[in-house]
């Protein structure tokens, strides 16, 4: 199995887990309880396609892909404008963009998946 290039993004998650396991402290995240976690292997196959396109820098199938995600819902951790960008995850049988997206954070290279159009997000865990 090929390890995706984004696997390097798990470093911070491993550090947090290590600190928790050995009794260290970790600053609490600012995200709402609506942010969960999802294993890379549990994503729909179309999400893999989207992640590959993000790594390559496109071309993207929709003109809205790559635009700034405003986080108006306030579900993701609060960041400055321009921090997050959104990308469409195609939904089979859907004639529009559908509800599935990947939202990326540029500084710490986190990737979030939403299947319900920004109601809930799951941080993608590339280590499982």
List, for residues 9-28, the tens digit of each pLDDT value. Answer: 444 444 444 444 455 444 44
Q: Distance between CA atoms of 54 and 62, rounded to whole angstroms?
A: 13
Summarised one tens digit per residue, pLDDT across range 72-122 is: 999 999 999 999 999 999 999 999 999 999 999 987 789 999 999 999 999
Using an 8 Å Cβ cutoff, are 50 and 59 in contact? no
Q: Which of 85, 86, 94, 110 is catalytic?
A: 86
Q: Tally the domains of the chain.
A: 1
Q: Which of 73, 85, 94, 117 is catalytic?
A: 117
Q: What's the CATH number where 77 sits?
A: 3.10.450.30
Q: How many CB atoms lie within 10 A of CB 60?
A: 15
Element of type H or E holding 56: helix 45-56
Verify whether residue 110 is a known catalytic residue.
no
Verify whether residue 117 is a known catalytic residue.
yes
The residue range of the domain holding 105 is 5-125
The 3-state secondary structure of 10-51, one letter per residue: HHHHHHHHHHHHCCCCCCCCCCCCCEEEEEHHHCCHHHHHHH
């Amino acid at each position: 199995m090929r390890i995706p290039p984004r696997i390097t993004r798990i470093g911070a998650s491993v550090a947090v887990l290590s600190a928790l396991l050995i009794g260290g402290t970790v600053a609490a995240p600012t995200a709402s309880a609506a942010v969960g976690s999802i294993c890379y292997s549990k994503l729909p196959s179309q999400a893999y396609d989207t992640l590959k396109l993000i790594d390559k820098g496109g071309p993207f199938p929709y003109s809205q892909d790559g635009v700034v995600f405003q986080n108006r819902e306030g579900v993701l951790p609060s960041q400055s404008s321009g921090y997050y960008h959104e990308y469409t995850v195609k939904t089979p049988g859907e004639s529009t963009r559908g509800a599935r997206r990947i939202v990326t954070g540029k500084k710490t290279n986190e990737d979030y998946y939403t299947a319900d159009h920004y109601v809930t997000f799951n941080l993608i865990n590339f280590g499982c």
